């Protein structure tokens, strides 16, 4: 896809090696909703049948999340990730039709590596919004 080729330099930066350190560093502050949202987007991005336009939305949402420049600094307790969650939520709704059972299963599996207890109601709440 031409759109994907045009953004290859950004796509190359999308790896679990880049996401996991930030998720581990801040996961207790971000909470499960933010972490699960990032993981859903990441695994939707990795699907071969996700089209270029959807991958561009994912690039923007995860790119904003990873960016050190932020509307609300992430170090601000509780408020720091609200803008990130808003951008991630927009991305999720925009590409919801590319979040299938496999994407959800992969995201839940990885979420369990960050949290000893996963809030199933919270996950269901996000899944129902898609």
| Tens digit of each residue's pLDDT (9 = 90 or more) over 23-82 | 666 666 567 888 899 999 999 999 999 999 999 999 888 888 776 555 445 444 444 556
pLDDT of amino acid 15: 67
Q: What's the predicted TM-score (pTM) here?
A: 0.76
Classify residue 119 by its DSSP letter: -
State the chain's maximal CA–CA distance in angstroms.
Answer: 42
């Amino acid at each position: 896809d031409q759109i994907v080729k045009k953004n290859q330099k950004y796509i190359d930066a999308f790896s679990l090696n880049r996401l996991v350190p930030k998720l581990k560093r801040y996961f207790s502050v971000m909470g499960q909703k933010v972490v699960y949202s990032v993981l859903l987007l990441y695994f939707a991005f990795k699907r071969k049948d996700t089209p270029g336009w959807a991958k561009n939305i994912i690039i923007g949402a995860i790119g904003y999340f990873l960016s050190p420049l932020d509307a609300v600094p992430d170090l601000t307790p509780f408020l720091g990730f609200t803008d990130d969650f808003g951008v991630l939520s927009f991305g999720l709704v925009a590409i919801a039709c590319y979040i299938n059972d496999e994407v959800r299963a992969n995201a839940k599996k990885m979420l369990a590596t960050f949290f000893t207890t996963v809030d199933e109601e919270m996950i269901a709440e996000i899944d129902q919004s898609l």
